[in-house]
C-alpha cells in the first residue's frame, strides 16, 4: 500500500493552501481533488474580497493560480474522490473511487461543502430541466427568460444579480420578511430593476410539461392570511446554503448537528492525532475563501509539527 506523509483531501482554497505550505515544508504532499476540482470558487464569477486582487479575480482563475502554486512546491495532485476512511489507528487509511487505498501519517480534510436543496420531489423531477443550484453554471440558458432564486443570504443575492444580467426578470423568494445578506448585497439587489424580492414566500412545488414552467408559492405560511398562488418562471435556482462534505469521516471525528467537523478551539485539530480539518467542512460561521485558505495554512503547519515531533 502506498504510504503518504501528508494527504490532503479537497482542492478548494483550504486544500491548495495546505498543499503550498506542506510542499514548502518538504512533506511531499499528495492532494486528491475530489468531486469538484477547484471547489466552489470554480462555479462563481467575480471574487472581489480575496486580498491582493484590487480589481477582483474570476473564481476559476484564482483556483488555477492556487493549483499552480501548489504544484510549484511539489504537490502531487490526483483526480479521485475519497469514498471511505479508516481513522482508527495511524497510519490512516483512505480509499478512493479509483479503487486505490493509501495510508497516511497525516490527513488534512478539506472536502468543503455542497449546495443544499429544499427537499421537494419536484427538484428531482426537474433536475437539469429548469432546476439548478448554480447560477453561473446554468444562467446562460435563461437569457431573456424569467427565473426565481430561493434564499435571502449573500449567495442568493449574488446569484440574483448575476442572473439579472442575463434574464429579463428575476424573482428572489425569501422566507423571512428581510434579507440575511450583507448590506452591500442588499443594496445591489434593491437597486436592480430586474429583481423583485418576494418576502415571506416559500416554494411548495414546481410545474411544467417538458421542464419548469412555474412555481407553486405560499405567502405568509402559517399566518391567518396565508395565500397560495402560482408564478410563471422558466428556471428555479437554489441558494439556501450548503451541506458539509463530512459523511465518510463522521464515524471518527466529532461533527455538529449539520455535519460540520468540530475542531479544537480555533485550531484545525480534530481530536484524532495527525488528522486535521480545514475550510468549509469545518466552518459553519465564516465560509470565505480567505478564511478557508487561512485554515489550510494552519492545518499544514500542524501536520509539519506532528510529523517532526514523531520523526515521521
Q: Which residues bind ligand NDP (CB under 6 A)?
A: 49, 118, 150-156, 158, 175-176, 180, 240-241, 287
Smallest distance from ligand NDP to CB 39, Å: 13
Burial (0-12, 13-18, 19+ Cβ within 10 Å), 114: middle
Asked whether 236 and 207 are in contact (CB, 8 A), the reply is no
For residue 138, indicate whether it is catalytic: yes
Point out the catalytic residue in the list 61, 98, 137, 256: 137
Q: What is the largest CA-CA distance in the chain?
A: 69
Q: Which of 144, 147, 115, 119 is nearest to 44 (CA)?
A: 115
- Residue whose CB is less far from ligand NDP, 25 or 197: 197
Task: Report which DSSP code applies to 260.
Answer: P
Cβ-proximal residue to ligand NDP, closest one: 153
- Residue whose CB is less far from ligand NDP, 12 or 152: 152
Asked whether 215 and 147 are in contact (CB, 8 A), the reply is no
The contacts of residue 157 (CB under 8 Å, 6+ apart) are 172, 179, 181, 185, 186, 188, 189
- Residue whose CB is less far from ligand NDP, 95 or 114: 114
In 34-91, DSSP assigns E strands to 46-47, 57-58, 76-78, 82-86
Smallest distance from ligand NDP to CB 268, Å: 19
44-53 burial string, b = 16+ CB within 10 Å, else e?
bbebeebeee
The DSSP element (H or E) to which 293 belongs, if any, is helix 289-309
- Residue whose CB is less far from ligand NDP, 243 or 269: 243
Instruction: Name beta bridge partners: 198.
Output: 173
Smallest distance from ligand NDP to CB 69, Å: 22
- Residue whose CB is less far from ligand NDP, 43 or 312: 43
Smallest distance from ligand NDP to CB 305, Å: 30
For residue 137, indicate whether it is catalytic: yes
Smallest distance from ligand NDP to CB 299, Å: 20
Point out the catalytic residue in the list 138, 234, 280, 283: 138
Residue 129 Ramachandran class (φ > 0 left, ψ -120 to 50 alpha, else beta): alpha
Smallest distance from ligand NDP to CB 162, Å: 11
- Residue whose CB is less far from ligand NDP, 56 or 251: 56
For residue 157, indicate whether it is catalytic: no
183-199 burial string, b = 16+ CB within 10 Å, else e?
eebbebbeebebbebbe
Grid coordinates 492545518 are at which residue?
A: 299
Asked whether 236 and 206 are in contact (CB, 8 A), the reply is yes
Where in the sequence numbering do the catalytic residues fall? 134, 137-138
Amino acid at each position: 500500500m502506498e504510504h503518504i506523509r501528508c494527504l490532503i483531501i479537497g482542492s478548494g482554497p483550504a486544500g491548495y493552501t495546505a498543499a503550498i505550505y506542506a510542499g514548502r515544508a518538504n512533506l511531499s504532499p499528495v492532494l486528491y481533488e475530489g468531486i469538484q476540482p477547484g471547489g466552489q470558487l470554480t462555479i462563481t464569477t467575480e471574487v472581489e474580497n480575496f486580498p491582493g486582487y484590487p480589481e477582483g479575480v474570476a473564481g476559476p482563475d484564482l483556483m488555477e493560480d492556487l493549483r499552480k502554486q501548489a504544484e510549484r512546491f511539489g504537490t502531487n495532485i490526483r483526480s479521485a474522490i475519497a469514498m471511505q476512511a479508516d481513522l482508527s489507528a495511524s497510519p490512516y487509511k483512505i480509499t478512493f473511487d479509483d479503487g486505490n487505498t493509501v495510508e497516511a501519517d497525516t490527513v488534512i480534510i478539506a472536502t468543503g461543502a455542497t449546495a443544499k436543496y429544499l427537499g421537494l420531489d419536484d427538484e428531482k423531477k426537474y433536475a437539469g430541466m429548469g432546476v439548478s443550484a448554480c447560477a453561473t453554471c446554468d444562467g446562460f440558458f435563461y437569457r431573456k427568460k424569467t427565473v426565481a432564486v430561493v434564499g435571502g443570504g449573500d449567495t442568493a443575492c449574488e446569484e440574483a444579480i448575476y442572473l439579472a444580467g442575463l434574464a429579463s426578470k428575476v424573482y428572489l423568494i425569501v422566507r423571512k420578511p428581510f434579507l440575511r445578506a450583507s448590506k452591500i448585497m442588499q443594496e445591489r439587489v434593491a437597486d436592480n430593476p430586474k429583481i423583485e424580492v418576494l418576502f415571506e414566500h416559500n416554494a411548495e412545488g414546481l410545474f411544467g410539461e417538458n421542464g419548469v414552467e412555474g412555481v407553486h408559492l405560499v405567502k405568509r405560511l402559517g399566518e391567518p392570511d396565508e395565500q397560495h398562488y402560482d408564478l410563471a418562471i422558466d428556471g428555479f435556482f437554489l441558494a439556501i446554503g450548503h451541506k458539509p462534505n463530512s459523511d465518510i469521516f463522521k464515524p471518527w471525528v466529532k461533527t455538529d448537528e449539520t455535519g460540520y467537523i468540530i475542531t479544537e478551539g480555533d485550531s484545525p485539530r480534530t481530536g484524532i492525532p495527525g488528522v486535521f480539518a480545514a475550510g468549509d467542512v469545518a466552518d459553519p460561521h465564516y465560509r470565505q475563501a480567505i478564511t478557508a485558505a487561512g485554515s489550510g495554512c494552519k492545518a499544514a503547519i500542524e501536520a509539519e509539527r506532528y510529523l517532526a515531533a514523531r520523526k515521521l
